[in-house]
Structure 1
Amino acid sequence: MSTNVQNFAVANLRRRPAAMEVGGFVVGFDPATSSPYVNYATPLPGAEPTAADVAALVSAFRDRGLKPRLEFAPDRAPEVEPALRAAGFGVEAVHEYLVCEPGALSMPPSAGGLTGPLVAAPTTEQEYVAIDAALSEAFEGEFAASAEGVARLRRTQENGGAVRFVSAPEGGCAGGGSCSAPAVGTAELAGIGTRPAFRRRGIGAAVTAALTAAMFEQGAESVWLEYSGDGSRRVYERLGYSPQGTRLYMALEA
């Protein structure tokens, strides 16, 4: 089976609070934050945008004081990158994505040295707050812990996705992550993070496996993710993930 991450990206952005379509693009605006990692666009598969389409897309971002930014699988919309480059967009990154299907998932051994349940779903506001704070620390301040971040985690869990975490011995969260609700047969697992003091204990692998299994239990035919380095890729491959394609990140800085 080939996981169509571009169809998923379209479906997922349409679930955003203020989603809109402009010139063959879906834009997932969220008024609760100005983060470019939350507010971005993706093309419809097969889109062939004109200069006017791209200009309308840029205006939709500029009107809201946001940086025009896109994430997409270029093989599903090959005409998009040239059109964006012609308008001055540059490439932020190219990320390979990995996919896991139910028969391939391999559950890891438990992470040692931690008390309480190994991996759990949050049930209290305090737990959501602790997860958001731990992820902020894990990603070295790339985003600040906030009430908006806590609310997004809660919405993910309540709207068909999953949030999982491992408790720290002294309380709070040692590490965690989330997975979107399934769409078009697949789900995106993102934001797996472990606080520096608790790394190399198998926490990331345990959380990843638990989230993946939760999506399969809900009927997803696959789960996909992007990795941040060779070390994390090896962890994911041991769990049953394998490469299937790339995603392109582009933004207009000026």
Structure 2
Amino acid sequence: MNKALLSKLEQSLREVAAQTRTHHQIEGFDLYLHPESKEFFMNLAIPANSDNWSDAVKEMVKYFTAQNLQPRLEYFDELHPDLKIALEAEGFQQDMRAPVMVLEAETFQSNKTKPKGTYLRLFEKDKHQIETALRRQSLAYGGTGDDSALIWLPNVLKGLEQNTVMFAVLETDGFASGASIQIGGGIGELAGVWTHPEQQKRGYAYELCHHLIEDYFKEGYDLLWLSAAEGAQRLYEKLGFSPLGTQLNYSLEASKA
């Protein structure tokens, strides 16, 4: 485990969060609050350092609840190993535990296999296609594909305009797969990978991600990371990613805040 590298990823996480949110510093935490949305995933805390996590967590909860927001955190366990004890003592529940994986440009290998679909990079001008992709992503994740799927659209469009987001789809037999890379501090995170349920386990996610990663490294970046969803680690190992640490996401139910 490389703490120095994890610290770089944490700083990248902060910079990505700050791109569409306002930054507030309190004891032990950096808070990133969306200026317009109170939606759960739009607001988060990232830990800094504290000599007393118990008190810091209590203050963080007060700050969120004063804004009528549900407290939520994303962080790397190895950098703050004692934090989860204070969080769970305060009633927080663990929403995600996932391996953090990294890929360096020098170890990435080009794909020589025959294409299975049509790869498309999407840009700000492709708003309609991006909307369609977000609806399809919602369906792939078990959602309804309704207008709530478009909550991320402003962030995606702003990121594409500022070159802090890369967004792509792979079209196959009337279906599609999708993925994005969010970039902060010169480091990207591969995120939001999805495939239509009827098209899973056919190699489409691998092909799509490979194309997008290749584009990313061609733009001069050296490092890419991700947090692997349950069951997806084998896909990312095949792409060349290796484990580095552990991401933990915690939240506190509104009734307990």
Contact 1:97 1:245 in 2 (8 A): yes
Q: Contact 2:13/2:184 (CA < 8 Å) preserved in 1?
A: no
Equivalences for residues 69-108 of structure 1 within 5 A: 69-108=72-111
CA contact (8 A) 1:192 1:207 kept: no
Show CA shifts across 1:37-96 (max 9, x none).
33211112x443444432221122212322111111121123422332332323223211
The equivalent residue for 1:210 is 211
Q: Are 2:131 and 1:136 aligned?
A: no
Matched, 1:225 2:226: yes
Q: Is the 8 A contact 2:135 2:150 kept in 1?
A: no
**1:23: Cα distance to partner?**
1.5
| Distance in 1 separating the partners of 2:103 and 2:172 | 28
- Give the distance between the partners of 2:145 and 2:21, measured in 1 at CA: 20
Task: Please state whether the residue corresponding to 1:124 is helix, strand or coil.
Answer: helix
The Cα of 1:110 is off from its aligned counterpart by 4.6
2:241 counterpart letter in structure 1: Y
Which residue is equivalent to 2:246? Answer: 246
For structure 1, the residue ranges without an aligned partner over 5 or more in a row are none
8 Å contact kept, 2:15–2:184: no
CA-CA distance at 1:35 after TM superposition: 3.2
Deviation sequence 1:111-134 (CA, Å, 0-9, x none): 42x4xx423224422111111111
Instruction: Name the counterpart of 2:190.
Output: 189
**Alignment partners' CA distance in 2, 1:107 and 1:49:** 48
Q: State whether structure 2 residue 193 is matched by structure 1 residue 155.
A: no
Q: 1:34 aligns with which of 15, 25, 38?
A: 38
Structure 1 stretches of 4+ with a deviation exceeding 4 A read 142-145
Query: 2:120 aligns to what SS in structure 1?
Result: coil
Tell me, yes or no, if the aligned pair for 1:47 and 1:77 is still in contact at 8 Å: no
Aligned equivalents of 2:73 and 2:145: distance in 1? 19
For normalisation by structure 1, the TM-score amounts to 0.85
Q: CA deviation at 1:140?
A: 1.0
Residue aligning to 2:62: 59
Given residue 136 of structure 2, which amino acid in structure 1 is its aligned partner? A
- Rounded Cα–Cα distance in structure 2 between residues aligned with 1:163 and 1:49: 40
* Superposition RMSD in Å: 2.4
Cα shift at 1:189: 1.0
* 8 Å CA contact retained: 2:178, 2:195: yes
CA distance in 2, matches of 1:47, 1:162: 35
What code does the residue aligned with 1:208 have?
C
CA distance in 2, matches of 1:74, 1:175: 31
Task: Confirm or deny: 8 A CA contact 2:50 2:56 kept in the other structure.
Answer: no
Higher strand share: 2
Q: CA, structure 1 residues 104+152, in 2 after alignment: closer, same or farther (shift >3 Å)? A: same
**Aligned residue type for 2:154:** A
| Partner Cα distance (1:27, 1:142) in 2 | 30
Matched, 1:9 2:13: yes
Any unmatched runs of 5+ in structure 2?
none
For the 8 Å contact 2:53–2:83, the answer to whether it is kept is no
Matched-pair contact (CA < 8 Å) for 1:189–1:223 = yes
1:102, CA displacement in angstroms?
0.5
Greater fraction of residues in helix: 2
Distance in 1 separating the partners of 2:38 and 2:207: 32
